[in-house]
Amino acid sequence: MGSLLENTQPIVGFATGAVAILVAGVAFLWTKGDRAARGRKLRPLIIMTVLVLLIGGACNRPINQPRNPSEGETTFTPTPRGDGETSGSVIAFIGVDGNLWLLDLHTRRRQRLTTHGHADSPSWSPDGRMLAYIYEEPHSGIRYVHLYDILERVDRPVAGLQDPFLSDVTWSPDGRYLAGDIGCCPQGRIMRILDMRDERIVSKYEYSLGYAWSPDGTQLALGVEQPVEPPLPVGEGTSNSIIIVKVGQNAFRKVIEGNREYLYWPVAWLPDGRLVYKRLCTHCAGEGASPELWEVKIELDFCMSLLKAMAP
């Protein structure tokens, strides 16, 4: 209610001012000339006042300002655009009540999937059929990954992806794997990879900060801690490097090595093979202390052959 009044205050003020101008004009014209002359002069004044009201109302239309999702604003996740029945037509979002909702853009029909207000991290499969999300049991505090089949309208938990510190869930670009990110701080995080063909955990990686799927969904770029000498004044004496792992294998390739001057972590792996990452200067001050975006070209074929050669 407070935000509504706040948004409509400019309109009320504009209307009051316009009406005041009209009343003053009428009072002035009423003392000048005969009735016919007053009518001719009054009509333009009325038309001008109406135009002012219309323009003022359009320019001061209430606007819903974006807010932080933690303050109760919804976060939207549309279905991917493809050839499926629900292509781009359904939006999954966390409502102000903390529950997971679906909105059909064609029918405007809303559907609530959870009831206790402990859902987050909705993520559609690449074909737009399965919606993965995290749901926290209100009594135990355990966070589970759930899958909702939008065609069959069936919701179920996924075995193997549950933890009190489960914070995010993402699909591989090919839809074969589902990744659960576990951890409450940048250090000591765990990534569990589930093969959706048989819903079996095929990989578990320890990392520290940032991850990105390869375009073909077979590899992951991870930010990992590594010790440096002499120790850094931050991060308990460690730096952050970027490695590439092949899902299902433990071998890895280090593509960017952290040092005393810089920490690195991946952000996104683009379809053309460019790996976008952040670089943080550990000794810089002012603007230089903010992370910078960089990129490096990753050849998938080379990575695949190298990883196969390193595999036991």
Where along the chain do its domains lie? Answer: 2-59, 72-171, 209-312
Between 228 and 274, where is the model more confident?
Answer: 274
The CATH code belonging to domain 72-171 is 2.120.10.60
The predicted model gives 113-126 an average pLDDT of 88
> Residue 51 above 90 pLDDT?
no
**CA-based nearest residue to 92, from 80, 100, 83:** 100
Cα of first residue to Cα of last residue in the chain, in angstroms, is 64
pLDDT given at position 308? 47
Q: Are 158 and 195 in contact (CB under 8 A)?
A: no
**Residue for token digits 């038309």?**
47
**Residue 204: strand, helix, or coil:** strand
State the pLDDT at residue 194.
92
Determine the pLDDT at residue 300.
61
**Averaged pLDDT, 149-153:** 87
**β-sheet with 166-171: strand ranges across:** 166-171, 177-182, 189-195, 200-207
Burial of 51 per CB tally in 10 Å (0-12, 13-18, 19+): exposed
Confidence of residue 242 (pLDDT cuts 50, 70, 90): very high
The mean pLDDT of 241-246, rounded to a whole number, is 92
What's the pLDDT band for 147 if we cut at 50, 70, 90? very high
229-235, long-range: CB within 8 Å, 24+ apart, which pairs? 230/260, 232/260, 232/282, 233/282, 234/282, 235/187, 235/263
DSSP-derived secondary structure letter, 303: H
Cβ neighbours of residue 46 under 8 Å, at least 6 residues apart? 22
What is the amino acid identity at position 211? Y
User: What percentage of the chain carries pLDDT values higher than 70?
Assistant: 62
- The pair of structure tokens assigned to 82 is 């493809």
Mean per-residue pLDDT, 37-43:
58
Sheet of 90-94: strand order equals 75-78, 90-94, 100-104, 110-112
Predicted pLDDT at 59: 37
List 100's β-bridge partners, or say none: 94
- The lowest-confidence range among 12-16, 41-45, 115-119, 135-139 is 12-16
Structure-block tokens of residue 260: 């005393």
d(CA 160, CA 275) in angstroms, rounded, equals 29
Three-state SS for 25? helix
Phi, psi of 71 (to 5 degrees): -90, 5
- CB distance 201 to 191 below 8 Å: no
Q: How confident is the model at residue 246 (pLDDT cuts 50, 70, 90)?
A: very high
pLDDT band at 84 (very low <50, low <70, confident <90, very high): very low
